[in-house]
Amino acid sequence: MSIVFSSFTDYLDMLPQEQARHGDALRSQVRQQVQEPSSAGLSAFLFLPDQLDHPDHDDAAQVFAQAVEQMYLPRPLVDDEIPLLFLGYHAMNRFSGKRTSQGFLLTDQAIYVQDDFTVLSAAPAPARGQALPTGVDVVQGFVSPLLAGYKAWKDWADLAQCPQSDLSARCGASLQAVIGTVIGYHAQHGSLRQPRLREWKLAELVAEHDAGEALLDPLNPKLSKKLGKVIGKFQIPADEALQFALVDFPLFGGPYGLALTSKALYGKDLMESPLRIALAQVDASALQISEKGDRLSTGANLPIALPSYTDAALRDPFLGLLKQEIVRLQSQA
């Protein structure tokens, strides 16, 4: 369905009745949450749909609608999502006069992050979308990488006239509280929807990114020696079938990185003991790769080290493959 966002009320009228009901309820809960102490000091950067009582901006409703238009509508993760909160500001292009939404846009199903801005006429890169996790207990682990990966804290801090660390902490507290409220609502009503995952193929990823030395395919007989070292150093039991591994082989210390088996997710940092997380404890939607590409955030569990040299173009497809295969294995357990 093709969607537009002129006003929150008109937008809900286009959605199925049950979805619209959830939207109304969530809008009310989010509005109440942003009035709590966790959002103190951020009023100038908090925008709600159709807001007419904003304490700092008369055009708050337009600011929110533009954020939806720029950050969500071009590339929805789930489709027919309900925009609930924009935490951010507008940056103006000095040449065109066009305003670009910067910050975090929360819908009922995902969060979108935009920190790409240039004073030149080039359009910003699309906002980065991340589906919401399924459990309240992983909200902090979900929000922290979003904040750590945000690139425009300096500009925002200058605008807010406060230190970057203070602003990041305030935004984190507000986002954690609001996202926790939204996920709690979904837990009660079974209304969280996950995006349709693209079907990734391991062999295709290896070929497309020339990643055969790092992204190891157990079906490749030429890799038997390397795979044996991974199994040994990661202490993978014989009854767990190795699905693939993203690893590096330094001169000393043996392979380090990530391995997925039929029963668990493994991580091993250089010269460290391996980490094992049973698949039953993994929330695939909460997995994120750090901005530097050297860590996989696993929500409530410890992060997993990744080979720091991994091609940046491989990271997102690899994350898609990892999430897809974890979901598949969990469904077969």
- Residue 95's pLDDT is 64
pLDDT in tens, 15-65: 999 999 999 999 999 999 999 988 888 999 999 999 999 999 999 999 999
- 222 three-class SS: helix
Chain CA centroid to CA 231, Å: 30
- Taking CA 248 as the corner, what is the angle to CA 324 and CA 198, rounded to the nearest 5 degrees? 15
pTM: 0.67
Report in angstroms the alpha-carbon separations of 188 from 133, 137, 154, 184.
15, 15, 39, 7
- From 193, 151, 205, 188, select the one nearest 325 (Cα to Cα): 205
C-alpha span between 24 and 133 (Å, rounded): 21
Residue 174 pLDDT > 70, yes or no? yes
Joined tokens for residue 3: 């969607």
* Predicted pLDDT of residue 107: 98
Which residues are CB-contacts of 105 (< 8 A; sequence separation ≥ 6)? 67, 68, 71, 72, 83, 85, 86, 87, 88, 111, 112, 114, 127
pLDDT at 11 over 70: yes
As beta bridge partners, residue 176 has none
68-79 pLDDT per residue, tens:
999 999 888 888
Q: Which residue shows structure tokens 């507290």?
A: 173
* Separation CA 85–CA 133 (nearest Å): 17
Interatomic CA distance for residues 243 and 223, integer angstroms: 13
pLDDT tens digit sequence for 116-151? 876 555 567 778 888 999 899 999 999 998 998 898
pLDDT digits (tens, 9 = 90+) for 259-275: 999 999 999 999 899 99
Band of residue 1 on the pLDDT scale cut at 50, 70, 90: very low
253 band by pLDDT with thresholds 50, 70 and 90: confident
Average confidence (pLDDT) over 183-187:
97
Q: How is the chain split into domains, by residue range?
A: 8-189, 202-332
pLDDT of res. 333: 79
CATH ID of 202-332, from 2.30.30, 3.40.50, 2.40.50, 2.30.29: 2.30.29
Rounded Cα distance between 301 and 161, Å, is: 35
> 97: Cβ–Cβ under 8 A, 6 or more apart, which residues?
none
pLDDT in the model for residue 83: 97
Tell me what pLDDT residue 291 has: 77
